[in-house]
Structure 1
Amino acid sequence: MRELLKKAFKLLTEWDDLRQTLKRGDPRRIFVGRFSKGNTKIIQTANSAPKRRQNVKRRQRVLVARRERIARAVASGVKLVLLVIVVIVVTADVLSYLRSSPRFAIAHIGVTGNTHETAETIMQSSGAAEGMNIFSIDLTRAAESVEEIPRISRACVKRKLPNEIYIEVSERQPLALILSRQLLYIDGEGKVFAPFEPGDVFNAPIITGKKLERLEIGDVAEAEGVDTALRIVEALGSMGCTDSIRVSEINIDNPSNILMVAEQSGASIILGSGDMKGKLWRLAKVAEEIGRNEHLDIANLERVDLRFEATVPAKFKGS
């Protein structure tokens, strides 16, 4: 196939050269002058002066030479056309063989990277099935179809000739729970991807709010305050705040005044708005002070207000 393409390119180059030559015409100009002897006459070309005398054939021979060049050009053009036809026919035969040969019927489909989603569901979504021709699968479209599964964040579909398909997936990791008509898992991108099942063990805050009540699996939570709540959950984990005060709920009904609920005592933690990392750092310091003070108990904490930078008002039960 490569040799055929080289020949086609060579013929195409020759045809172009000949076409340019015919378009320009013969660059030589012949002027009839005095004959010194016999058929000898002066010849002047486009690039030289008539400095020599030489024997030339009659003008009719020049026309014949032009006709011969035209004939050669036409012959080269015909050869080129025939070569292109041969390439097309051979290519069609090769494609027909690849798409119909039993050698390329899918005999195995492998799925990797899945923990919760079943391989059967992933294969079904990809559109690939055993017995199908391996070249009939659009790899890009198959990967996009797999990524439509709510739990799958990324998918890659590959061929392994002659008859194997491999699907690599990455599953979404839950960051928090969100309360809609049921408890649902949500990841760091705000994608709601699975229900919280009885028996699941997952220690993370529950994000609540009236705007979340209609969310379903597959939705992206775009309500105001959701992104802030997710960043708070990330900060709680990275700063180690969960070791001192465990947060069970983050309420976003008022995005400008976000509230958290402490798991140990049910205390209300008022965050307000602004620099959430700074507020959580002050909350960790409050928890440390409570732990060092033998007269105070985190279980008796009733309210903490983190809206102020200079001071952190805290109220305990019975005080």
Structure 2
Amino acid sequence: MVSLKGVVNALKNIGSLFRLQKKKRKVPSGAMSRGAVPAFTSMSANQEPKRLSMAARIKSWFQRSARRKDLNRSPVVVARSTPKRLILVLSVVIVVLSLAFLAYGPIVRAVADIKFFKIREISITGCRVTTPALLRELAGVRYQASLLALSPDHIEAILRMHPWIAKAEVKRDWPDVLIVTIQEYAPEALVVREVSGGSQFFYLDKSGVVFAPVEPGGELDFPVVTGLTGKEDAETLRKATTEALALLKLVRQNNPNLPLQNLSEMHVDQDAGMTIYLADYPFPIYFGKGEIRTKYSRLKRVLEVLYKEAGQGMTIADVAYIRMDYLENKVLVAHSGSG
């Protein structure tokens, strides 16, 4: 019968043999070259191999499997290769973008000379006061210029500098057509503004924007907004003319008793409100402040009565003034002989 002491000695001898064999082969502890044949030692007849439990066998199998995986890959190389590859890709991208940036100008100039991109047609729409020829000259656009070399944003900015142009849109219709669409201001009234050397009439649009001076020979058939100093900033002027422009919008309905061409002047006052004057009769019509639509409707009915033939009572020729703000829901028509 094998004693416990004999088993211990046998295990020590097996361990010594394994250590000696490893030193001879110069293989690192816990690793074995791929394809190497493991060395075995003989065992004496009176020695029995050590039996391992099932748990120990499974653990040993997992350890061997892990060692094989470690031998089949190199973590250090993988860890180092990833940042190097990323740096290489970024370097290539930077170089390509730099070359493209440097080459953009020469490429555009070279392609711009191609006849295929020469402007053959220039379409300009929206002109009423301005003309296509004037806008082509202003924008510096020429036929046979390169459509590729043009900057639509730059042309739009130049066109908007013209006092009559409110909006401008420039598009390229490839390969050889330039499309320009403008929107001009529409004058609603005239205002007096202070300029170097004195005062001058300017056009006022429906939003209260002063946009262009009245040139010699320019159209003057618009109501005049008075009562301003001529030095107001844009926002103050817009607020001051709000009610006058609201009345103008209603008068444009061209009621036969109050047509647009009969409205001569609209005087605005910060305290007293608005006073209007007709072209054919000089008496004032005091509108006051607020309720413009209501007062306009009442004025139409009053004028309808006053424009009737003589002999049927008071006529418009007898009127000294009309107060639309006399009392609530009341209109005062003063007779010229009543003082």
TM-score interval (norm. to shorter)? 0.5 to 0.7
**TM-score, normalization: structure 2?**
0.64
Pairing 1:97-246 to 2, within 5 Å after superposition: 97-101=107-111, 102-103=113-114, 104-130=117-143, 132-180=145-193, 181-192=199-210, 193-195=212-214, 197-198=216-217, 200=219, 202=221, 204-212=222-230, 220=234, 222-223=236-237, 225-238=240-253, 240=255, 242-243=258-259, 246=262
Q: Distance in 1 between matches of 2:84 and 2:59?
A: 34
Q: Deviations over 1:240-288 (max 9, x none)?
A: 3624993211112455332111222211111121222222222112112
Alignment match of 2:324 (pick from 302, 306, 309): 306
Alignment match, 2:263: 247
Alignment match of 1:271 (pick from 272, 287, 290): 287
Q: Distance in 2 between matches of 1:182 and 1:199?
A: 13
Report the structure number with the largest CA radius of gyration. 2
User: Is 2:303 the counterpart of 1:287?
Assistant: yes
Deviation at 1:233, TM superposition (A): 1.4
1:244 touches 1:288 (CA, 8 Å); kept in 2? no
Q: Distance in 1 between matches of 2:201 and 2:185?
A: 16
Q: Deviations over 1:52-100 (max 9, x none)?
A: 455955967644x743774587467546644664565467656633333
Pairing 1:53-132 to 2, within 5 Å after superposition: 53-54=64-65, 62-63=73-74, 66-67=76-77, 70=80, 74=84, 78=88, 81-82=91-92, 85-86=95-96, 89=99, 93=103, 96-101=106-111, 102-103=113-114, 104-130=117-143, 132=145
Change in 2 beyond 3 A, CA 1:39/1:290: farther
**Range moving further from structure 2, 49-58 or 97-106:** 49-58
Alignment match, 2:47: none
Q: Which runs of 5+ in 1 are unaligned?
A: 1-30, 41-47
1:257 touches 1:272 (CA, 8 Å); kept in 2? yes
2:30 touches 2:67 (CA, 8 Å); kept in 1? no
Which one-letter code corresponds to 1:157 in the other structure?
Answer: V
Q: Distance in 1 between matches of 2:169 and 2:130?
A: 15
Deviation at 1:156, TM superposition (A): 0.4
Q: Which runs of 5+ in 2 are unaligned?
A: 1-28, 32-36, 41-57, 194-198
**Range moving further from structure 2, 123-132 or 175-184:** 123-132
SS of the residue corresponding to residue 175 of structure 1 reads strand
Q: Distance in 2 between matches of 1:188 and 1:49?
A: 91
> Over aligned residue pairs, what C-alpha RMSD do you find?
4.1
Q: Distance in 1 between matches of 2:270 and 2:82?
A: 86
Q: Distance in 1 between matches of 2:98 and 2:59?
A: 52
Identical residues among aligned pairs (%)? 19
- Between the two proteins, the alignment pairs up a number of residues equal to 275
Which one-letter code corresponds to 1:305 in the other structure?
Answer: R
Q: Distance in 2 between matches of 1:289 and 1:39?
A: 131
SS of the residue corresponding to residue 127 of structure 2 reads coil
Which one-letter code corresponds to 2:157 in the other structure?
Answer: E
Change in 2 beyond 3 A, CA 1:227/1:77: same
Q: Distance in 2 between matches of 1:55 and 1:313?
A: 109
1:151 touches 1:194 (CA, 8 Å); kept in 2? no
2:321 touches 2:334 (CA, 8 Å); kept in 1? yes
**TM-score, normalization: structure 1?**
0.68
Alignment match, 2:336: 317
